């Protein structure tokens, strides 16, 4: 059934390459997305993230014609570390046009990293990251996201620290708490007053 809906939509909905686990980014004109609501999915469904730019598909093609200077400064993430000098406009265009290699990167990082933090207003990568970590026997690693649209960034960051702590990540807080005066808003009790003990 969803195949017929897809063909009637002109075939311009493109399922992007895998981002890890079952995550598959897709790009389409806004009018062609409703058929996804009718598509039976194994263990999931379609979610619109409200992004204002195209990625991982044909909708990124017009960006190739724009001046390279407009997107200078970054690009496609390979599965190996970068030194930063290759993060040019072509890199960023390829990153938008082609799939992000999330799964091989998470696998590689799982060999050396103790905790994973997703930074972005749409925390959609935590699930495929967790699936990848579990597939390599590292499912117990702390994994949190620091931002969420329509939430106070400071509150969300503190909540992420608490989540990481509850998942076993240990940190002294170091630079984050430096200069913060320890204060208490609790009224004194007989056991906290000197000499009443």
Q: Report which listed range, 6-20, 23-37, 38-52, 178-192, is most confident.
A: 178-192
Q: Distance between CA 141 and CA 183 in Å, rounded?
A: 33
Angle at 61 between CA 44 and CA 83, to 5 degrees: 85
In this prediction, residue 122 carries a pLDDT of: 76
Q: Distance between CA 2 and CA 46 in Å, rounded?
A: 13
Q: What's the predicted TM-score (pTM) here? A: 0.54
Strand runs labelled E in 100-197: 116-118, 143-145
What element of type H or E holds 154?
helix 153-166
In this prediction, residue 134 carries a pLDDT of: 95
Contact of 27 with 62, CB cutoff 8 Å: no
- Higher-confidence residue of 74 and 181: namely 181
| pLDDT tens digits, 94-122 | 777 776 778 888 999 898 888 888 887 77
Residue 14, phi then psi, degrees to nearest 5: -115, 125
Would the pLDDT of 1 be above 50? no
In this prediction, residue 135 carries a pLDDT of: 95
């Amino acid at each position: 059934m969803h195949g017929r809906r897809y063909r009637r939509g002109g075939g311009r909905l493109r399922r992007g390459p895998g981002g890890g686990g079952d995550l598959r980014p897709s790009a389409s004109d806004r009018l062609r997305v409703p058929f996804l609501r009718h598509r039976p999915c194994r263990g999931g469904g379609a979610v619109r993230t409200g992004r204002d730019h195209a990625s991982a598909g044909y909708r990124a093609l017009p960006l190739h014609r724009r001046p390279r200077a407009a997107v200078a400064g970054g690009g496609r993430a390979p599965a190996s570390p970068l030194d930063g000098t290759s993060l040019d406009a072509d890199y960023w265009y390829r990153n938008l046009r082609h799939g992000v290699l999330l799964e091989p990167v998470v696998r590689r990082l799982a060999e050396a990293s103790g905790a994973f933090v997703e930074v972005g207003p749409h925390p959609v990568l935590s699930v495929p990251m967790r699936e990848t970590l579990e597939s390599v026997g590292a499912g117990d690693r702390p994994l949190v996201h620091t931002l969420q649209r329509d939430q106070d960034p400071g509150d969300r960051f503190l909540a992420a620290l608490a989540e990481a702590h509850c998942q076993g990540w240990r940190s002294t807080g170091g630079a984050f708490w430096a200069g913060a005066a320890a204060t208490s808003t609790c009224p004194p009790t007989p056991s906290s007053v000197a000499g009443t003990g």
